[in-house]
Amino acid sequence: MRIIKEETIVQEVKRLCQEANYILPHDVQRALMKAYEDEDGDIAKETLNILKENALLAKSTLSPICQDTGMTCIFVEIGQEVYIEGSLSEAIQEGVRQGYEEGYLRKSVVDDPLFDRINTRDNTPAIIHYEITKGDQLKIIVAPKGFGSENMSQVKMLKPSEGVQGVKDFVLKVVHDAGPNACPPMVIGVGIGGSFDKVTLLAKKAMLREIGTHHFDERYKALEKELLEMINQTGIGPAGYGGKTTALSLAIETYPTHIAGLPVAVSICCHVARHKEVIL
Amino acid sequence: MIKHITTPLTKEKVLYLKAGDQVLLSGIIYTGRDAAHKKMIQMIEEGKTLPFDVDNQIIYYVGPTPPKPNAIFGSGGPTTSGRMDAYAPKLLSLGLRGMIGKGYRQESVKEAIQKYFGVYFGAIGGAGAYIGRCVQECEVIAFDDLGPEAIRKLKVKDFPLTVIVDAYGNDLYEIGRKRYLKEHSYDK
Ligand code: SF4
């Protein structure tokens, strides 16, 4: 049994909220660099140049990469042998509150979604997903999500008979619908299988996967590559101004599903694909 | 070629801009997004005077981060313009000349841009820190209670923009894609 104090979690979540918003993950930075080198059109190249410069500037001045510092999505993997002194959920929410306030991050959450829509003024509540794992470690991933791209994500319950072609058509449709609204180049996560709720979570997790890594099953790996190539042939390009780089990456996560179903979810993220994690 | 444009944005200046042009904008612009637009349209309906005269002016769709101590402005890239589509034609009819944002616009907005000689500029989505640097002065002039959504008067210098929809009805989101596909012969 390992004991972790509430205060440790507050401090770590606070730090992760700020770092995630100031410092673009290495893999995303690298992908932007590479895209910049590969682009040939003037406007596309200049756009990627500004995005590159923007990320460097944000990092060196510890400023938010993007003004939409997102709704804070948090993935927690908690070992069965961990004991938290106090409340884990409250500690996480407190970390978000302090992180956003003290880090000069934008507060973008409203309390009632339909009627009142009043800003909570501290960016809480965060959305927290818990997973129980073996062992005595606690892993926290903080992934602030902007809604320009979140609004462009979609889920569809396909018929099993629609198969691979159905998946391809749907992914391409989502990318076309998203276009310039999602601040391309995009980072795309695709979930296949599970149920209505599970598939969207798979897509979210896929979006967090390191760029350049692939699904362990060769068939899905090939599909990831093929879809990315098709997306980059749409011509949408950086900022939607036309060009080669519509997406930096596409990752697929899968799960067993029901005999009657083929759920597919496409989680769209912009190039500001933020996430930072800690293992305690 | 990069075109240097200074506000106020007159009809003559707008007619000189074409979809795909890269622009460095300097001068005064105003910020406004969802809540501010809703309030302004309400004021118009009630016959009240708007917080600023929109004639020959530009509205930038943005909700910036709070500035750090001693800073003028935080990070401030564009937000998705489509959410302002319901309000834009009315403002254009009152003389609003330019809008800065990102993303698709509805036909009704494009038609109003043509009819009233306006222009829709794209700022690069996600370049918040970079764009924030172009702001030299910032003053909240209305709806302070809306926080990031308040109307701010900004003085900008060399704000990098691209013309998306021009007064002649061209849309870079369509042209840019087609041009790319043609050059790479994917348009079979
Ligand atoms: S979609 Fe991403 S890059 Fe664009 S404004 Fe939102 S958070 Fe920023």
Task: State how far the Cα of B122 lies from the Cα of B103, in Å rounded to an integer.
Answer: 8
Model confidence at B188, pLDDT cuts 50, 70, 90, reads very low
Which domain covers residue B56, as residue numbers?
Answer: 2-183
Nearest ligand 1 atom to alpha carbon A145: 7
How many residues appear in chain B?
A: 188
- So what's the ipTM on this one? 0.92
Nearest ligand 1 atom to alpha carbon A183: 4
pLDDT at B101: 97
pLDDT at A1: 86
Provide the angle, in degrees to the nearest 10, between the axes of the packed helices A42-61 and A26-38: 150
Contact assessment for residue A105 and residue A123, using Cβ atoms and an 8 Å cutoff: yes
Domain boundaries, chain A: 2-20+65-145, 148-273
Task: State how far the Cα of B145 lies from the Cα of B154, in Å rounded to an integer.
Answer: 18
Residue segments in chain A with a per-residue pLDDT below the cut of 50: none
Find the A269 Cα to ligand 1 centroid distance in Å: 8
**Closest C-alpha among A155, A220, A211 to residue A187:** A211
pLDDT at B186: 62
Give the one of B129, B130, B176 whose C-beta lies nearest to A242's C-beta. Answer: B176
Residue B188 lies in a domain: no
DSSP per-residue letters across A198-227? HHHHHHHHHHHSPTT---SSHHHHHHHHHH
Q: Which residues of A123-135 are buried (b: 16+ CB within 10 A; e: fewer)?
A: bbbbebeeeeeee
Indicate if the pLDDT at residue B187 is higher than 90. no
Share of chain B above pLDDT 70, in %: 98
Shortest Cα–Cα distance, A49 to chain B (Å): 10
Residue B173 lies in a domain: yes
Task: State how far the Cα of A64 lies from the Cα of A18, in Å rounded to an integer.
Answer: 8
Mean pLDDT over the full length of chain B? 95
Task: State how far the Cα of B26 lies from the Cα of A93, in Å rounded to an integer.
Answer: 41
Contact assessment for residue B108 and residue A43, using Cβ atoms and an 8 Å cutoff: no
Task: State how far the Cα of B161 lies from the Cα of A46, in Å rounded to an integer.
Answer: 11
Contact assessment for residue B122 and residue A242, using Cβ atoms and an 8 Å cutoff: no
Which pLDDT tens digit goes with each residue over B26-36?
A: 999 999 999 99
Residue B131 lies in a domain: yes
Q: Which residues of A188-223 are buried (b: 16+ CB within 10 A; e: fewer)?
A: bbbbbbbeeebbbbbbbbbbbbebeeebeeeebeeb
Given its phi and psi angles, is residue A192 left (phi above 0), alpha (psi -120 to 50 degrees) or beta?
Answer: beta
Contact A66 B181 (CB under 8 A): no
Name the domain count of chain B: 1
What does the pLDDT average to over B2-7?
A: 96
Which pLDDT tens digit goes with each residue over B9-23?
A: 999 999 999 999 999
Q: Nearest 5 degrees, angle CA A77-CA A80-CA A85?
A: 85
Q: Domain holding B11: CATH number?
A: 3.20.130.10
Contact B127 A50 (CB under 8 A): yes
Shortest Cα–Cα distance, A186 to chain B (Å): 11
Contact A180 B125 (CB under 8 A): yes
C-alpha distances (whole Å) from A109 to each of A69, A101, A117, A126 are: 10, 13, 9, 9
Contact assessment for residue B43 and residue B49, using Cβ atoms and an 8 Å cutoff: yes
Contact assessment for residue B73 and residue B35, using Cβ atoms and an 8 Å cutoff: no
Give the one of A50, A69, A108 whose C-beta lies nearest to B124's C-beta. Answer: A50
